[in-house]
Amino acid sequence: MVDAQSFPVDTPSAPRMINGAYSSSHVYTLTDIEMLTNYAAERGVRILPEIDIPGHAASWTDGYPSIMAKCFKKYSYNINDYALDPTQDDTYDIVEKVLKDIIQTMGVQQFHLGGDEVVYGCWANDTNILEFMEKQGMTSYNQLLEYFVLKVDDITRSYGSTPIHWEEVFKAGAKVGSDVIFEVWTVQDNIKMVVDSQFRVIAAPSDVWYLDHSDNTWSKMYAYDPTTNLTSTEASYIIGGEVAMWGEHVDENNIESIVYPRASSVGERLWSPSNVVDQEDALNRLINHRCRMINRGFKPSAIQPGFCSLTTVPV
């Protein structure tokens, strides 16, 4: 829902957060979010929100600059490196208000809290954070990340939602609760590492399922099965998968052609038995589905030379 560049959600409990939106016309109200949630649910889709913290938090600066780590000058060349200050009580007060508004509006049972790509150099640049770590007996930034994660996880649970984190939180050694779900995005092999520790996993390895990687063709994405080379017990911890489309190089003019129909191929993979692997058969279904989308007004990219009949593909 948010990233370093923009905080587009109007959270009345923390009303200054929308100061971080691109503009006043680029904002989702809670009414908008409720409408989207209901619209999706009526069509069998469950929206899973993510607020990426403590890193990727530059958009929080315009609303509540006091809860940010003081590294603005050092990392001014890349706002993705800004992070929340995990040592302040006010940080958790604002985080709770944001989470409360969104969780209660959407009624979600899981909430993605991010945790990826936290630039420890930002924390290292803040003398108040360093003093806090010394008083707490912390000798590594992994411990500080764990401190933040455990507090925010408890906030999330208090509103009836299960925390989800990116795999960096796992790799940092954070001693999270057994209910926590991890999303693996870097490489396929890391999935086994997480399920071996008996945590549930959402598979989203960038080397096969990232849509902003042009070399991830539909056939490559379709061929990947996250349960491959896992025991039945290990595979049972994989609760789903995601094809990720990040916004750096897309807008309303090209997003449909980049996402579709490749994302549909992964939809079939995740909803099919593992022995459904014939790509020729899958190609025929994908061509028909692409034409179906075109007939409904979407603009999916081409898979191969050909055309769509307006009469042969059912709408």
* Close Cβ partners of 148 (under 8 Å, ≥ 6 residues apart): 53, 54, 84, 86
CA separation for the pair 201, 180 (Å, rounded): 9
Residue 115: left (phi > 0), alpha (psi -120 to 50), or beta? left
Does the annotation count 280 as an active-site position? Answer: no
Residue that has been written with the tokens 């991890």 in this structure? 182
Closest residue by Cα to residue 92 from 150, 52, 152: 152
Helices (H), 196-274: 206-209, 218-223, 232-235, 255-259, 262-270
Is 163:157 a contact under the CB 8 Å cutoff? yes
Q: Structure tokens of 173?
A: 């050694």
Q: Which of 42, 50, 117, 248 is catalytic?
A: 117
CA distance 3 to 26: 14
Active site residues: 117
